[in-house]
Amino acid sequence: MSGNIKLLSDTLAAAKAEGRSALIAYLPAGFPTVDGGIEAAKAVFDGGADVVEVGLPHSDPVLDGPVIQTADDIALRGGVKIADVMRTVREAHQATGKPVLVMTYWNPIDRYGIERFTAELAEAGGAGCILPDLPVQESATWREHADKHGLATVFVVAPSSKDARLAEITAAGSGFVYAASLMGVTGTRASVGEQAQDLVRRTKATTGLPVCVGLGVSNAEQAAEVARFADGVIVGSAFVKLLLAADGDLAAGLAGVRGLAGELAEGVRKHS
């Protein structure tokens, strides 16, 4: 069974055709529970997200800040497994028909098996993977299997990336490019800043792929700011914070993330 890279590409192209950025939401699988995480993914889609990234919880994340680390810890203590991640992808996609990716560090895939992981993700209807710590020069085997199964390989670029390195990364990637707006870890910020705009400009000079910005966006105003120069706006910690603040009241948490998705969806449409 082939994965949904085409659905992802078509979704991003449709947003561009509407003269706006796409809204991409990140949520960890298994948080606050496996079932709760699936409902949260559906809720952000209901609110207006175009794409959802499902995080595979990891005990030693390098990109994730304290909010997502806390959620990952809850998921891991709850016993979340890769099978639960696949189920989250499957049910979120089946319920909405929209593209769902997995964001994961490399070690879990390496241990699980590349062919097994890509085959199961495609079978679940996944659109691809975001791999923040897989070096491009070590990614050939992964990309071969991802291509075979119709999955996007999304690499992360950072403000520290030199132009030659950007070209190397974007040439190997597919689906879109994840531009980390600043040096550091995920989390909400008071400002996203000019650093992100410069990174997007330099990245776009190397590729025709959409360039989507993450790290720091938490409200409609920031989403509108980033939407002026990026093809997609990625929001994670702000959604996770709402689920954490709900403190076990899933209905309240779902209402919160649905509402925030709606505000952010308006934000990405107000950039002109």
Q: For residue 212, list its beta bridge partners.
A: 178, 232
Q: For residue 178, list its beta bridge partners.
A: 156, 212
C-beta of residue 114 within 8 angstroms of C-beta of residue 141: yes
Measured between alpha carbons, how far is 255 from 209 in angstroms, rounded to an integer?
A: 33
Give which of 62, 106, 107, 102 is closest to 83, Cα–Cα: 102
Q: For residue 123, list its beta bridge partners.
A: none
Measured between alpha carbons, how far is 136 from 171 in angstroms, rounded to an integer?
A: 10
| HSE-CB of 107 using CA atoms within 13 angstroms | 6
Q: Which residues are catalytic?
A: 53, 64
Give which of 247, 251, 257, 246 is closest to 218, Cα–Cα: 257
C-beta of residue 244 within 8 angstroms of C-beta of residue 209: no
Q: Mapping DSSP to helix (H, G, I), strand (E, B) and coil, where does residue 220 land?
A: helix
